[in-house]
């Protein structure tokens, strides 16, 4: 029997309602021209709402997005597009990916390089394949074989770095050159444009949600829980829900063994969390926040919670009972709310966030079962 470890909670003393810049709908218009684009479901899960003691819970289900089992293709595709646009000096009008591919012929041979815990790297490799380029992907030691094979299925070689995700990022960065574009979702001094475009790409998720709520005649959520790795998705969420007129409270969720954003909030500045970063929530196994995401997330999230893997397993099982397939990282948002609203500090948390039995909650299912064997073990109760 796995024993849970105590969670860590931090109410953000730097929280602000000042909105960061928004990308608008340009990324969404781009995504609509990609093959296989469709709006992902916004699903109501009343049994989970009852379990959390809130009025309703909506799930933005990103377990299948543009033919891949995670949302990451949205950020990777927009970042690739913007980076290539900068490289060629602008595109002629285009309607399809084939149009783009033809315009990009003079750049070949060209390779994309990226570090990943699985989903971002596979998305970068998919874009390389669609556009007729190569890709080289780096993963940290301990990456699940199923995730490596997923990347390789896109035609990209995978190199396992004997170290953490952050060390894989450093390795990928050395590939930059005339014939190689580094497509990273985290930033460092002198490398900020591409990760900012990754963040902008994720805005498509939020605009879809807004449209879906409007079509259903539903108001914006009262409480939003979002996964935090280096902070890219959380930055997009903050940029959207800190728009004028929106009052949503935002909770950021991390694994206990990779709580880099929470630790940085406690320190009042970016800090690194030593490895190993070996949570089953693999997409969140990051030791240092993105310097680009830090000013957005550190002022836009109201409360940070770091949870043990057992909470993620619990979340996966609850979601499976509702017919929702969520991998370990995909269930992390629910894992955080299970800790906050069913854990030992629930009374204080409910009061501080204004949570009642009518509160409307939004969660993101950021991936499907990207490691099918692990998923079957956990959901079957053997985890």
Average pLDDT for 158-162: 98
**Percentage of the residues of the chain whose pLDDT score is greater than 90:** 92
Is 209 within a domain?
Answer: yes
pLDDT at residue 382 above 50?
Answer: no
Q: In the sheet that 134-140 helps form, which strands lie side by side, from edge to edge? A: 158-161, 134-140, 111-115, 180-182
* 74 has pLDDT over 70: yes
> CB neighbours of 209 closer than 8 A, spacing ≥ 6?
42, 60, 362
331 and 374 in a single domain? The answer is: yes
* pLDDT score, position 118: 87
Q: Are residues 270 and 323 in the same domain?
A: yes
Q: What is the mean pLDDT of residues 71-83?
A: 98
Look at residue 257 and tell me whether its pLDDT is greater than 50. yes
10 Å CB burial of residue 93 (0-12, 13-18, 19+) is exposed
pLDDT one-digit tens code per residue, 320-360? 999 999 999 999 999 999 999 999 999 999 999 999 999 99
The Cβ of residue 35 has, within 10 Å, a number of other Cβ atoms equal to 10
289 & 348 share domain: yes
21 and 120 part of one domain: no
pLDDT value for 1 = 42
Out of 191-200, 202-211, 241-250, 280-289, least confident range: 241-250
Residue 22 lies in a domain: yes
In this structure, are residues 112 and 105 in contact, taking their beta carbons and an 8 Å threshold?
no
Predicted pLDDT of residue 4: 67
**268 and 334 share one domain:** yes
Instruction: Calculate the average pLDDT of the chain.
Output: 95
Residue 196 lies inside a defined structural domain of this protein:
no
Give the total number of structural domains in the chain.
2
We report the CATH number of the domain holding residue 267 as 3.40.50.1100
Domain range for 114: 72-191
170 with 132, same domain: the answer is: yes
Q: Name the residue among 143, 126, 138, 130 with its Cα closest to residue 184.
A: 138
Which pLDDT value is given to residue 383?
43
Read off the pLDDT of each residue in 308-323 and give the average, rounded to a whole number: 97
Same domain, 339 and 237: yes
Residues 51 and 134 in one domain: no
Domain end marker among 151, 167, 191: 191
Residues 269 and 165 in one domain: no
The pLDDT of residue 2 is 52
Confidence of residue 54 (pLDDT cuts 50, 70, 90): very high
Q: Which residues are within 8 A (CB) of 72 and not within 5 positions of it... i.e. 6 or more apart?
A: 119, 120, 122, 123, 185
Which of 137, 157, 191 is a domain's end point? 191
Residue 2 lies in a domain: no
Distance CA 112, CA 79 (A): 11
Cβ contact 158:134 at 8 Å: no
pLDDT level of residue 369 (50, 70, 90 thresholds): very high
| pLDDT at site 381 | 55
C-alpha 303, offset from chain centre? 18
Does 11 have pLDDT greater than 70? yes
Query: What does pTM read for this prediction?
Result: 0.95
Cβ–Cβ < 8 Å for 169, 288: no
- My answer on whether 76 and 185 are in the same domain is yes
Known catalytic residues are 72, 117
Phi, then psi, of 139 in degrees rounded to 5? -125, 150
The stretch 278-286 carries a mean pLDDT of: 95
Query: Is 197 a member of any domain?
Result: no
Domain C-terminal end among 142, 172, 191: 191
Over residues 24-30, mean pLDDT: 96
For the chain, what percent of residues have pLDDT higher than 70? 98
Query: Could you tell me if 120 and 222 lie in one domain?
Result: no
Residue 310 placed within a domain:
yes
CB-based contacts of 217, cutoff 8 Å, min separation 6: none
User: Which pairing describes strands 56-61 and 360-365: parallel, antiparallel, or unpaired?
Assistant: parallel
Lowest mean pLDDT among 120-124, 307-311, 379-383: 379-383
Q: What is the pLDDT of residue 61?
A: 98
- Has residue 3 got a pLDDT over 90? no
Would you say residue 367 lies in a domain? yes
- Specify whether 238 is located in the same domain as 360: yes
- The whole-number average pLDDT for the span 134-160 is 97
Residue 3 lies in a domain: no
């Amino acid at each position: 029997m796995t024993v849970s470890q105590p969670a860590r909670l931090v109410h953000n003393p730097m929280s602000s309602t000042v909105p960061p810049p928004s990308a608008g709908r340009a990324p969404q218009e781009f995504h609509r021209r990609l093959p296989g684009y469709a709006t992902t479901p916004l699903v109501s899960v009343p049994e989970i709402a009852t379990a959390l003691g809130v009025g309703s819970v909506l799930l933005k289900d990103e377990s299948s997005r543009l033919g891949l089992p995670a949302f990451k293709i949205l950020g990777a595709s927009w970042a690739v597009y913007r980076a290539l646009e900068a490289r060629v000096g602008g595109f002629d009008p285009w309607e399809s990916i084939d149009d783009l591919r033809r315009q990009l012929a003079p750049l070949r041979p060209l390779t994309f390089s990226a570090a990943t815990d699985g989903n971002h790297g596979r998305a970068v490799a998919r874009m390389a394949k669609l556009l007729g380029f190569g890709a080289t992907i780096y993963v940290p030691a301990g990456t699940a074989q199923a995730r490596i094979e997923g990347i390789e299925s896109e035609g990209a070689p995978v190199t396992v770095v004997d170290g953490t995700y952050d060390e894989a990022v450093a390795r990928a960065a050395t590939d930059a050159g005339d014939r190689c574009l580094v497509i990273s979702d985290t930033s460092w001094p002198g490398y900020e444009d591409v990760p900012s475009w990754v963040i902008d790409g994720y805005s498509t998720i939020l605009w879809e949600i807004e449209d879906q709520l409007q079509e259903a005649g539903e108001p914006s959520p009262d409480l939003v829980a979002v996964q935090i790795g280096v902070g890219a998705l959380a930055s997009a969420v903050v940029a959207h829900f800190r728009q004028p007129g929106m009052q949503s409270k935002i909770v950021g969720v991390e694994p206990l063994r990779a709580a880099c954003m929470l630790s940085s909030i406690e320190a009042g500045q970016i800090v690194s969390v030593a490895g190993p970063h070996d949570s089953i929530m693999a997409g969140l196994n990051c030791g240092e926040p993105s310097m680009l995401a830090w000013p957005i997330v550190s002022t836009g999230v109201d409360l940070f919670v770091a949870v043990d893997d057992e909470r993620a397993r619990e979340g996966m099982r609850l979601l499976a009972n509702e017919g929702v397939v969520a991998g370990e990282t995909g269930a992390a948002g629910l894992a955080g709310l299970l800790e906050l609203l069913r854990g030992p500090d629930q009374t204080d948390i409910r009061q501080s966030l204004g949570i009642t039995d009518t509160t409307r909650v939004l969660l993101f299912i950021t991936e499907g079962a990207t490691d099918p064997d692990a998923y079957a073990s956990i959901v079957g109760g053997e985890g």
